[in-house]
């Protein structure tokens, strides 16, 4: 069963990713980029002039823009768990954010679950910010205002005036005056039904660039998931949102044809009790926390375990292929050594030994007849430093297509 991530718990760390386009089967084109997506077809730009057509469902990632100008001071949390940050540019039916002075992002207000006003200056001192704040609260009648250092205001509280330094709120007929810098943000009524997902659509998760508020270093700190209406060389559009590609660090393509194991709950799990609960398996991180890195290659997706571990997932014969890159994490000591074993309905589908420093070993396995899939990390004699990364572990049903020549596997 796919897990639904909580809206307030998502924060993407700024791990480095190799540039280029990766297809669903793991083939990578370092100098390529997704030029456009229209309907069910995608066009890849290979080098400077050569293009290649593939089905949109054959795409996995497009990674670019490791650095971009600083931006900043507002966090949006959407109903589906997405989060992004930027400088507010305006609000009405659409919430607009600016990145380095460019209005690169807009999303319908109905998709916003919560807003965190992460400013050091009071809301009312910036007229654009103040007007946007008023518009969001005016249209979000089901919003709960959250203050710093005290409980949220009641659901029926209504903002009646926003001044430069003060905010007036009607609470059950009594007007209360608050300092604007005490406003933390607002949360939409949790009893409200979120928008229904479009299950048949091909989605793209966009990892957006914004600065760390403490160090001011540029990082990937937010993401937005939308069904694709169209991707051009300059913009991504879908679900009423328009995003400038200059602020997109990475595009991760999704849909009913693909599922990451890190987003699923195992139906059974077994781990070595000797190592204690502090080394319980992790989603999208190595088992000690932090990004998964094997022989210098960093992965944003996967499962981190320690040997011995055994995780069992229900597939129900719904998928054609299981893909994973196995390896001992770089954070392990020189004695790190384990056997990565994949079983389908009790039968060993693959078994590979990896030592610390070995490059990740990719596996592409046919699971079309598999009902139960097991990932097993075996200590291979010693438990010491067996930090096992099941990187990019994903299930998919790939469409038939002709891949461009020159890809890396």
Report pLDDT for 166: 74
Of 351, 349, 332, 331, give the one whose Cα is nearest residue 341. Answer: 351
Q: How large is the C-alpha radius of gyration of the chain?
A: 23
User: What was the pLDDT predicted at 47?
Assistant: 77
Q: Which two tokens stand for residue 277?
A: 């609960």
Residue 207 pairs in a beta bridge with 223, 250
Q: Which residue has the higher pLDDT, 144 or 402?
A: 402
Answer yes or no: are the C-beta atoms of 368 and 319 closer than 8 Å: yes
All domains in the chain, ordered by first residue: 99-188 (2.30.30.100), 259-396 (2.60.120.1060)
Interval 297-321: pLDDT, tens? 989 889 999 988 999 999 999 999 9
Distances (CA, A) of 134 to 143, 309, 368: 12, 52, 53
Query: Residue holding tokens 């944003």?
Result: 300
Task: Please check whether residue 390 is in contact with residue 314, taking contact to mean a CB–CB distance below 8 angstroms.
Answer: no
Residue 144 binned pLDDT confidence (cut-offs 50, 70, 90): low
Judged against a pLDDT cut of 90, whether residue 142 lies above it is answered with: no
Q: What is the DSSP string of 175-216?
A: EEEEEGGGEEEEEE-TTSPPPPP-TTSPEEEEEEEEE-TTT-
Write the pLDDT tens digit of every residue in 32-44.
889 999 888 999 9
Find out whether 327 and 360 touch, Cβ atoms under 8 Å. Answer: yes
- Report the Cα 47 to chain-centroid distance in Å: 28
pLDDT confidence tier of residue 375, bands split at 50, 70 and 90: very high
Most confidently modeled range among 45-49, 290-294, 377-381: 290-294
User: What's the pLDDT tens digit per position in 181-202?
Assistant: 667 666 665 555 545 555 567 8
Average pLDDT over residues 164-190: 73
């Amino acid at each position: 069963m796919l897990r639904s991530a909580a809206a307030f718990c998502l924060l993407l760390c700024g791990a480095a990713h190799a540039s280029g386009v990766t297809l669903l089967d793991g083939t990578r084109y370092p100098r390529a980029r997704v030029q456009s997506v229209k309907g069910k077809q995608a066009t890849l730009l290979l080098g400077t002039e050569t293009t290649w057509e593939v089905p949109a469902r054959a795409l996995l990632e497009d990674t670019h823009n490791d650095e971009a100008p600083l931006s900043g001071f507002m966090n949006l949390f959407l109903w589906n768990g997405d989060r992004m940050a930027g400088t507010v540019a305006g609000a009405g039916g659409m919430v607009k954010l600016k990145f380095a002075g460019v209005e690169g992002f807009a999303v319908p207000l109905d998709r916003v679950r919560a807003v965190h006003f992460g400013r050091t200056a009071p809301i009312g001192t910036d007229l654009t910010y103040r007007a946007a704040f008023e518009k969001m609260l005016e249209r979000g009648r089901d919003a709960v205002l959250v203050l710093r250092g005290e409980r949220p205001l009641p659901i029926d509280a209504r903002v009646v005036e926003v001044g430069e330094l003060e905010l007036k709120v009607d609470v059950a007929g009594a007007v209360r005056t608050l300092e604007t810098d005490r406003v933390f943000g607002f949360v939409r009524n949790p009893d409200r039904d979120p928008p229904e997902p479009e299950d048949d659509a091909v989605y793209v998760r966009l990892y957006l660039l914004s600065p760390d508020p403490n160090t001011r270093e540029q990082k990937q700190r937010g993401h937005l998931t939308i069904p694709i209406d169209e991707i051009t060389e300059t913009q991504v559009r879908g679900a009423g949102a328009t995003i400038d590609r200059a602020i997109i660090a990475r595009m991760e393509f999704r849909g009913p044809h693909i599922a990451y194991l890190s987003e699923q709950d195992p139906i059974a799990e077994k781990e070595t009790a000797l190592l204690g609960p502090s080394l319980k398996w992790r989603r999208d991180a190595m088992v000690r926390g932090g990004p998964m890195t094997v022989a210098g290659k960093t992965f944003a997706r996967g499962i981190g375990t320690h040997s011995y571990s055994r995780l069992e997932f229900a597939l129900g014969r719904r998928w054609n292929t299981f893909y994973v890159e196995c390896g001992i994490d770089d954070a392990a000591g020189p004695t790190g050594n384990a056997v990565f074993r994949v079983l389908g309905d009790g039968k060993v589908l693959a078994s590979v030994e990896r030592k610390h420093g070995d490059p990740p070993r990719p596996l592409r396995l046919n699971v079309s007849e598999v009902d139960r899939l097991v990932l097993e990390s075996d200590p291979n004699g010693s438990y010491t430093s067996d930090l096992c990364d099941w990187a990019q572990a994903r299930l998919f049903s790939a469409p038939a297509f002709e891949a461009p020549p020159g890809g890396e596997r």
